[in-house]
Amino acid sequence: MPYDARAHTRPSSDELRARIPGWGADLDPADRPSVPRERTDLVTGAHWDIPENQPELQPRERSIEHERLTPVFGTVAPLHGPSGAIRRFAYERFSEARAAHWLLLVLGDRVDAIGSHVSSVRQGRPDNMIAESGVLGERRYHPIASRFGRGRADLKHIWLDPLVFAGPVLVVGLMLVLRRPRGR
Amino acid sequence: MRAMVYRGPYKIRVEEKDIPRIEHPNDAIVRVTRAAICGSDLHLYHGMMPDTRVGMTFGHEFIGVVHEVGPSVENLKPGDRVMVPFNIYCGTCYFCAKGLYSNCHNVNPNATAVGGIYGYSHTCGGYDGGQAEFVRVPLADVGPSIIPEWLHEDDALLMTDALSTGYFGAQLGDIVEGDTVVVLGAGPVGLFAARSSWLMGAGRVIVVDHLDYRLEKAREFAFAETISFTEVDDIVVELKKQTFGLGADVVIDAVGAEADGNLLQHISAAKLKLQGGSPVALNWAIDGVRKGGTVSVIGAYGPLFSAVKFGDAMNKGLTLRMNQAPVKRQWPRLLEHIAAGRISPRDIITHRIPLEHIAEGYHLFSAKLDNCIKTVITTGE
């Protein structure tokens, strides 16, 4: 078939309108709430020009691309320990444009996970890795029939998941082994 | 209160946390009655989003009842049933004033490239999410809306992200009457994008995935033609065959960072975290769309670089459109569609799991067991 400019064969609009509930209800772009993308006539409910400043009860890290701390911010899990030092360095030294910024934050995440596992062991309340992984639910969710014989593409890399899952635990185990004095 | 807590990649548990307190005069504290696990929560769960801290509670799809309000809150009062868009936004900054609520500049100190999102790492502001009994809702006069009496709570829940994002993705496609629209990904957002494409007047809607049960849902719920990319040699060639050798008018990427279909890309991004996301679906979109066509991206990607085929996009003269959905802008029209019976969002819900068993819910969703499409978390209301 030549690549000509004729319209392709498709069902007619009348046919689609009869078959598909609501077909064409938003055909007119004026009915589409995000058209145009930028609008200045929307009512938001805000009764301020700039929101009041949320009290900064402890120093809050921020991107160096921001001129100041934003008026509102989350306060979950403040920076602490070695992971906090890595994250603080990432925020204070590198902009969001630098790969180092994000790679350091990923490193901070891994150090955080390892540190949390170490803390849980030290506190005598080690993480219940099996329960936290959710695998105990497998028995209710047809693990074999769900996975095999269905052409799933993700089966090619599913064997890697336990390594990602257990990586921090293996690191903690290795650290504990290496801490033992030789000859014991 | 009981709350889901992140412990590291693939590890979460439920533990006791303090009930959140008013930290800003326009905060509200909402008692969560229903939450959902979103496909993008899996990026956090798999450790892909930088600065995801141990101790954080995920969950950006939730509804609930106002428990307490700060002194400057005027539009809500305790006892109001509210649905809360996943965007946290101020309503008045340079971007909010243009309706770009998902790009608010006043709520996320950690990054300028993304706005604030509940329970979505410190890269998105460091706010706890709604997979808990209570959640802090900042700028409560702007984000939440009271749930209409007639609206089913499951539908309200899905309006807080999945439905609004899918609907927004179809709008980004600038669909005109008779267009052929390809939707990559048959998860909740992809299903809603496919269904929404018909509202915009699409002539054909084709959904691509590799999970047979999701493709079946795409045929049944979204009236779409379907292709399993594992059953064809090359999905781009197949899309060309389906479109007279030209490509689709519009392709919507509703997959994002953990796309399958290319083992090297998936492992480098999803396992080794060396890319912001596996760009397999995005590259298929670029190569599968026609010259001069439009690619709409609503799948979530991380902030690191990804190996995207930008040369093809340039040479084909494509329009690439993308954003996190400004959720609340979608609501008035979506409520009209639901009220008119044009769409029933809750039809995609497959599982309900109590908060105490949320670790199993994440595993179920992540491993795609038991024909899971959408999981709702209940909090013992």
Handedness of CA B183, B189, B195, B198 (dihedral sign): negative
Same domain, yes or no, for B73 and B218?
Answer: no
Is B10:B44 a contact under the CB 8 Å cutoff?
Answer: no
User: A39 — contact with chain B (CB < 8 Å)?
Assistant: yes
Last residue of a domain, one of B282, B305, B322: B322
User: A54 — contact with chain B (CB < 8 Å)?
Assistant: yes
Q: How confident is the model at residue A1 (pLDDT cuts 50, 70, 90)?
A: low
Sort out which chain B residues have CB atoms less than 8 A from A69's CB and list them. 109
User: What local confidence, expressed as pLDDT, does residue A6 receive?
Assistant: 65
Same domain, yes or no, for B151 and B173?
Answer: no
Same domain, yes or no, for B220 and B339?
Answer: no
- Which CATH number goes with the domain that contains B259? 3.40.50.720
Say what the alpha-carbon torsion angle A21, A22, A27, A30 is, to the nearest 10 degrees: -160
Q: pLDDT over 70 for what percent of chain B?
A: 99
Same domain, yes or no, for B16 and B144?
Answer: yes
Last residue of a domain, one of B322, B337, B361: B322
A11-20, A124-133, B9-18, B145-154: which has the minimum mean pLDDT? A124-133
Question: Taking the model in full, what pTM does it have?
Answer: 0.95
Of A115, A104, A51, the closest CA to residue A77 belongs to A115
Q: How confident is the model at residue B65 (pLDDT cuts 50, 70, 90)?
A: very high
User: What local confidence, expressed as pLDDT, does residue A157 receive?
Assistant: 87
How far is residue B358's CA from residue B352's CA, in Å, rounded to a whole number?
10
Last residue of a domain, one of B284, B305, B322: B322
Which residue in A64, A66, A72, A89 has the most chain B C-beta atoms within 10 A of its own C-beta, making it the best mutation to test that interface? A72
User: B315 — contact with chain A (CB < 8 Å)?
Assistant: no
Report, as an integer, the average pLDDT of B204-222: 97
Q: How confident is the model at residue A181 (pLDDT cuts 50, 70, 90)?
A: low
- Those residues with Cβ within 8 angstroms of residue B112's Cβ, 6 or more apart along the chain or in another chain: A63, A65, A66, A96, B105
Alpha-helix residue ranges (DSSP H) falling in B98-178: 153-159, 162-172
Alpha-helix residue ranges (DSSP H) falling in chain B: 41-45, 153-159, 162-172, 188-199, 212-221, 235-242, 263-266, 280-288, 310-315, 327-339, 358-366
Specify which residues B278 forms β-bridges with.
Answer: B258
A89-103, A128-142, B325-339: which has the minimum mean pLDDT? A128-142
Same domain, yes or no, for B83 and B138?
Answer: yes
Which residue in B4, B5, B6, B10 has the most chain A C-beta atoms within 10 A of its own C-beta, making it the best mutation to test that interface? B10
Higher local confidence (pLDDT), B277 or A91: A91
| Full residue range of the structural domain in which residue B40 is found | 2-161+326-378
C-alpha distances in Å from residue B296, one per residue of A17, B167, B191: 24, 11, 15
Same domain, yes or no, for B187 and B318?
Answer: yes
Same domain, yes or no, for B75 and B178?
Answer: no
Specify which residues B250 forms β-bridges with.
Answer: B181, B294
How far is residue B202's CA from residue A17's CA, in Å, rounded to a whole number?
11
Q: What's the total number of domains in chain B?
A: 2
Q: How confident is the model at residue B282 (pLDDT cuts 50, 70, 90)?
A: very high
- Those residues with Cβ within 8 angstroms of residue A90's Cβ, 6 or more apart along the chain or in another chain: A100, A101, A102, A104, A105, A108
User: What local confidence, expressed as pLDDT, does residue B125 receive?
Assistant: 98
Burial of B381 from C-beta contacts in 10 A (0-12 / 13-18 / 19+): exposed
Of B14, B5, B6, the closest CA to residue B46 belongs to B6
Handedness of CA B349, B350, B351, B352 (dihedral sign): positive
User: What local confidence, expressed as pLDDT, does residue B259 receive?
Assistant: 87
Same domain, yes or no, for B311 and B185?
Answer: yes
Report, as an integer, the average pLDDT of A17-31: 97
Same domain, yes or no, for B142 and B29?
Answer: yes
User: B257 — contact with chain A (CB < 8 Å)?
Assistant: no
Same domain, yes or no, for B131 and B200?
Answer: no
- Which CATH number goes with the domain that contains B352? 3.90.180.10
Same domain, yes or no, for B124 and B227?
Answer: no
Residue B248 sits at φ, ψ, to 5 deg, of -75, 155
Cβ–Cβ gap B203/A142 under 8 Å? no
Same domain, yes or no, for B308 and B358?
Answer: no
How far is residue A154's CA from residue A157's CA, in Å, rounded to a whole number?
6
- For the segment B335-364, what is each residue's pLDDT rounded down to a tens digit? 999 999 999 999 999 999 999 999 999 999
Specify which residues B5 forms β-bridges with.
Answer: B13
Q: Tell me which residues of chain B, numbers 70 to 129, contact chain A at a CB-CB cutoff of 8 Å.
A: 72, 74-75, 88, 90-93, 96-101, 105-113, 116, 122-123, 125-128
